[in-house]
Structure 1
Amino acid sequence: MASLNPLSSNLDLRKAKHLLRRATYNYSKEQLDTFVGMSATDAVNSLTANVAYVLTEPYDPMPASNPDGYWTSSNEHPNSFDGQSRKRAHVTAWWWHNAINQITIKYKLSFFLHTCFTVGKDSGVGAASFFFDHLRLLDFYALGNIKTLAKKITLDNGMLDYLDNTQNNKNNPNENYAREYLELFTILKGEQIGEGNYTNYTELDIQQAAKVFSGFKKKGDRNGDIDTDTNLPIGYINANRHDPNDKTFSSAFNNQTILGRNTKETIIEELDDFVEMVFAQEATAKAYCRKLYRYFVKSDISATAETDIITPLAQILVNNNYEILPVVTTLLASEHFYDMDDDDNTNNTIGAIIKSPLQLLSEVISLFEVEYPDPETEQLRFYRNFFLRYIHIIYFKGSGMEFFNPDSVAGYPAYYQEPGFDRNWFSSNTLIARYELMRDLLTRNNLYTNLDTVSFVENKISPEETKDPNTLVFALANLMYPESIDSDRINYFKTFLIGDFNDYYWTGAWLQYINTHNESDKNVVKTRLDSLITTMVNAAEFQLM
């Protein structure tokens, strides 16, 4: 029986690694040491603080002769700036820097909301300033209320542009946003049981929803219309373009009629009525809980998990009026999350998900404390050299994850496409970029990064373990991998330390470095450690979480 009961034992290293990987983009030995010995509930709750941004806004260091700088806080019209594609990439750099420098579940949930309310930053979201507002909206509700976000997103300028709802008028309806709102964003499509009938909604419901959404317009200058809850720029309502008639929905929604309105204030009430109707359906709560399960636990939802995990989580979601944290904290502190609710060794949750390119990058950077250019003092090197030219254009694109720019409104296949789900991250086209990440961070001088494997081993592994190649490999594996490795894997990995020599070769080289700390001795062990850690990162064990 799958169980949402809280884990009764405190976290050991294995469970602490599992939680930290699944819940944050910042994976460090120090945080693991903090988690070990804590209760699962306390550890999860410690990740839920609504932390402020460490970097408040993105910066564009171009053009070099007169940088646009902090353009998102400019009073100039968003479309007046050149280099919009570059600037949208800089917005993702801003988001990533915040995500990797804070130990919080906020950014994991923000990205989860991106998979629910998808936009593509380079495929219709508009100027970079609107994309910046969109990400801040997701961040604002990452620890908050999904239903409220489902209302606010309709007036998000980026979403209005992306799915053409700014063109939706009473005499010329555009159903794009209404269709995706039901099919992908909220209740989701069920089994097709008749022509235009998808169990959870029908084509009639799409038509009626489009009428509810009519007259919602993009505010092109970002000035004047500010949401009082989020303090973010929003679109506006043109009451003359809104369909004021009553909207009657299908039997999927119990033939409910929503009263039509004709003023700005009352049209917002009409939107509220529609969203409340959609979120009153059991299928909506279960849809979000299944997405959360696949995002945090594993892609396969067994019949037992559907009954014992999804159904009660959906009830928690409804009971809390769609506040997301009660569901997430219950799940991540549960026996089921740590695979401690049965004796079946074939359905493990630990190590059951292939890391996304985002997780892989963030984990490498945070675990090995890779130094990269400071976005506040080295803007050109951070935004252009390190992030835009390498992380954004080469690494993310090559690994099959165009950052915040999935190729369709359905999102990244890893989060929705059966039966592969997260296995979609791996293909013959995406492996090379993943496997070259460590090499590039170590050797590409134009990235201005510093990955010091010697300092990492010296500072993170105990002296008794570092001098012996067997214990060193075992200690690294315990830190890096979801599960321990056996003697065959230890023997394989340690060849990168000793080559064709005996174990004492590494012991002698390491002790020589420890005694002298001179550059020539450091270079000897660094060459070996670079090779070992690169191999261990590229091993199958590190690709899983």
Structure 2
Amino acid sequence: MASLNQNTAILGNKNAKHLLRRATFKYTKTLISQFSALTPQQALDLLTTNNPLTLALPYDPVTNGGADGYWTESTALSSTFNGQQRKNIIVSGWWWYNAINDATLKYKLSHFLSTRFTVEKGNSTGTSTDFYDYIRLLLFFSYGNYKTLAKKMTLNNSMLLYLNNNENAASAPNENYAREFFELFTIGKGEQIAPGNYTNYTENDIVEGAKVLTGFRRVGDRSIIDSTTGIPKGGNLFGQHNTQTKVFSAAFSNTSIQPATNSVAMDIELDTFVEMIFSKLATAKNICRKMYIYFVKGTITSEVETDIITPLAQDLYANGYEILPVLRRLLESQHFYDLDDSSAIDETVGAIIKSPLQQISEICTYLQATIPDPTINATFFYNTFYRNFVHDTFFLGSNMPLFGPDSVAGHLAYYQDPSYDKNWISSSTLIARYRLGESLLDGFNRISGNNNIAGKIYISDVIKNGGLISNASDPFVLTTELCNALFGQEPDVDRINYLMNSFLLQGLADYYWTTAWENFITSNNNAVVEPRLKLLLTKILSAPESQVF
């Protein structure tokens, strides 16, 4: 029986690694050691702090004479700044830099919310400043209320453009946003009952919902500031609003929503519409299923639906759609740590294929990659390292342009039943995934082009000074501890011996490595140990066991 009963035991090394990987983008030996001595409840207390941003603002080093470096804070029209696509990528790099420097749930949750309220950065979503405001909205509500976010997102300038609600008028209805609001963002379809009639809503409900949503418009000068978040938002154009009574189907108890009589009342009408959808337990269940798929695994059995999803949904519903208490209950549960059964075929530890975002974040943080500091050398960080290598080479090559999915449904891994996370692996993504580690260990783009990437893992120095290995002169201990940290599950002795003998020792005796390592410690000459460590790590990071977490 799947159980939400709280796991009250000390986490230990294995469960600390599991929690950190699922809850954050910062994965380090220091954090593992710290969390291994805590209970899940104590760990979640630390993971749910609200730290200030490590990097306060995105910065464009191509400043057009210095005028628009910190363009997101300028009072000038954002559309006047040069290089909007470049600036969109800079915003995503700013988010990622903060994510790998903050060991809290905030960034995993903000990314999860981006998979639910999908916006594609780029020309179809307005300026880079609109996109920046979208990211800030996700961060603001990471520890907040899902229902309130649904209301706020409706007036987000990027969302207004992306799903065409900026064009939705009484005289020319556009149903794009209304459709996705029902299907993707909130309640979900459920099984089809008849043509145009689904379990949870009808096609006519979309028509009526689109009428509620008429007249909301993007405000390009960011002059309207939301009083709750402090973030710019769109506005209400009453002259384009549908002033008919909106009548919904039996799925919503034939609710009638009275029309607004002025622009201010448009917000009241929107609130009534959102409250109507969130009054259904099916909405809470749909959100909890998505949360489970993102944080636990893609398989939702009938047992999980009954014992995990339903009680979590009841909690979410009863607590007015506050996100954090529900996610905490899941991450503190016996089920999350595989403690509710003895079966080895339905594990949660190591049950998800890593997203490219997870993969690069883990490698950079655990192996202590030296990457440019954006406050000291913005050009090297934003252009050479993040844009040219991380974004344009690795993310694109692994089919995960950050905040740039193929469709409004998002990346296949988060919605495509039954494959889900298996969609990260394909013949077209393997080169990027397998050569990521090699690129970072060499400091050159081994995925394509062989250019200097301005970032590097200095592996012999990291092993020597980084506290990763308890006894680096012992080749078996070294290989074992690297595999245990970087694989989804701890491998058996045969696997460790294979990797050690084939790539670290390369057929030589154990004492060869011990002598070589001791010579490196004495002389600081890494000519022998560096290439062997790089080869070992390259094979570990490209191994099938390293693709899961």
Both structures adopt the same fold (TM-score exceeding 0.5): yes
Per-residue CA shift, 1:424-459, capped at 9, x if unaligned? 000000010111112222321632213111122223
Pairing of 1:116-515 with structure 2 (within 5 A): 116-122=116-122, 124-223=124-223, 225-443=224-442, 444=444, 446-460=452-466, 465-494=471-500, 495-515=502-522
Q: Which residue of 2 aligns with 1:4?
A: 4
Amino acid at match of 1:516: S
Kept in 2: contact 1:461–1:475 (CA 8 A)? no
Q: Which residue of 1 aligns with 2:73?
A: 73
Pairing of 1:514-529 with structure 2 (within 5 A): 514-517=521-524, 521-529=525-533
Q: Give the C-alpha shift of residue 64 in structure 1.
A: 6.5
Q: Which residue of 1 aligns with 2:448?
A: none
Q: Give the C-alpha shift of residue 352 in structure 1.
A: 0.1
- Equivalents in 2 of 1:321, 1:220: separation in Å? 32
My pick for the range that moved more, 68-77 or 410-419, is: 68-77
Per-residue CA shift, 1:243-270, capped at 9, x if unaligned? 1221110011010111111212211111
TM-score by length of 2: 0.97
- Equivalents in 1 of 2:355, 2:15: separation in Å? 20
Q: Give the C-alpha shift of residue 195 in structure 1.
A: 1.4
Q: Which residue of 2 aligns with 1:43?
A: 43
Q: Give the C-alpha shift of residue 123 in structure 1.
A: 5.5
Q: Give the C-alpha shift of residue 482 in structure 1.
A: 3.0
Amino acid at match of 1:540: P
Kept in 1: contact 2:297–2:351 (CA 8 A)? yes
Amino acid at match of 1:486: D
Secondary structure, counterpart of 1:193 in structure 2: strand
Amino acid at match of 1:28: T
Secondary structure, counterpart of 1:447 in structure 2: coil
Amino acid at match of 1:544: V
**Quick check: 1:91 aligned with 2:91?**
yes
My pick for the range that moved more, 285-294 or 184-193, is: 184-193
Kept in 2: contact 1:461–1:472 (CA 8 A)? no
Q: Which residue of 1 aligns with 2:539?
A: 535
Segments ≥4 residues shifted beyond 4 Å = 63-67, 460-464
Q: Which residue of 2 aligns with 1:29?
A: 29
Percent identity reads 48
Q: Give the C-alpha shift of residue 41 in structure 1.
A: 1.2
Pairing of 1:9-20 with structure 2 (within 5 A): 9-20=9-20
- Equivalents in 2 of 1:19, 1:329: separation in Å? 11
- Equivalents in 1 of 2:487, 2:39: separation in Å? 22
Secondary structure, counterpart of 2:208 in structure 1: helix
Q: Give the C-alpha shift of residue 115 in structure 1.
A: 0.5
- Equivalents in 2 of 1:136, 1:462: separation in Å? 34
Secondary structure, counterpart of 2:33 in structure 1: helix
Kept in 1: contact 2:29–2:467 (CA 8 A)? no
Q: Give the C-alpha shift of residue 343 in structure 1.
A: 1.4
Kept in 2: contact 1:118–1:409 (CA 8 A)? yes
- Equivalents in 2 of 1:512, 1:78: separation in Å? 57
Kept in 2: contact 1:156–1:234 (CA 8 A)? yes
Amino acid at match of 1:481: F
- Alpha carbons of structure 1 residues 184 and 462: separation in structure 2 relative to 1, 3 Å: closer
Kept in 2: contact 1:335–1:341 (CA 8 A)? yes
Q: Which residue of 1 aligns with 2:447?
A: none
Secondary structure, counterpart of 1:46 in structure 2: helix
Amino acid at match of 1:276: E
Amino acid at match of 1:541: E
Q: Give the C-alpha shift of residue 533 in structure 1.
A: 1.0
Kept in 1: contact 2:11–2:40 (CA 8 A)? yes
Q: Give the C-alpha shift of residue 516 in structure 1.
A: 2.2
- Equivalents in 1 of 2:384, 2:63: separation in Å? 14
- Equivalents in 2 of 1:184, 1:342: separation in Å? 33
Secondary structure, counterpart of 2:194 in structure 1: coil
Amino acid at match of 1:496: F
Secondary structure, counterpart of 1:466 in structure 2: coil
- Equivalents in 2 of 1:33, 1:514: separation in Å? 25
Q: Give the C-alpha shift of residue 199 in structure 1.
A: 1.3
Secondary structure, counterpart of 1:53 in structure 2: coil
- Alpha carbons of structure 1 residues 295 and 464: separation in structure 2 relative to 1, 3 Å: closer
- Alpha carbons of structure 1 residues 64 and 489: separation in structure 2 relative to 1, 3 Å: farther
Amino acid at match of 2:76: E
Q: Give the C-alpha shift of residue 467 in structure 1.
A: 1.2
Q: Give the C-alpha shift of residue 122 in structure 1.
A: 2.1
Kept in 2: contact 1:45–1:329 (CA 8 A)? no
Q: Give the C-alpha shift of residue 144 in structure 1.
A: 0.4
- Equivalents in 1 of 2:468, 2:161: separation in Å? 55
- Equivalents in 1 of 2:80, 2:65: separation in Å? 18
Per-residue CA shift, 1:176-230, capped at 9, x if unaligned? 100111011100111111111111111110011001100000001112x100000
Secondary structure, counterpart of 1:504 in structure 2: helix
- Equivalents in 2 of 1:43, 1:194: separation in Å? 48
- Equivalents in 1 of 2:414, 2:143: separation in Å? 20
My pick for the range that moved more, 292-301 or 534-543, is: 534-543
Q: Which residue of 2 aligns with 1:114?
A: 114
Q: Give the C-alpha shift of residue 134 in structure 1.
A: 0.4
Kept in 1: contact 2:469–2:478 (CA 8 A)? no
Kept in 2: contact 1:467–1:511 (CA 8 A)? yes
Amino acid at match of 1:250: S
- Equivalents in 2 of 1:90, 1:461: separation in Å? 32
My pick for the range that moved more, 320-329 or 189-198, is: 189-198
Aligned residues: 541
Kept in 2: contact 1:201–1:252 (CA 8 A)? yes
Kept in 2: contact 1:144–1:325 (CA 8 A)? yes
Q: Give the C-alpha shift of residue 45 in structure 1.
A: 2.1
Q: Give the C-alpha shift of residue 66 in structure 1.
A: 4.5
- Equivalents in 2 of 1:280, 1:23: separation in Å? 29
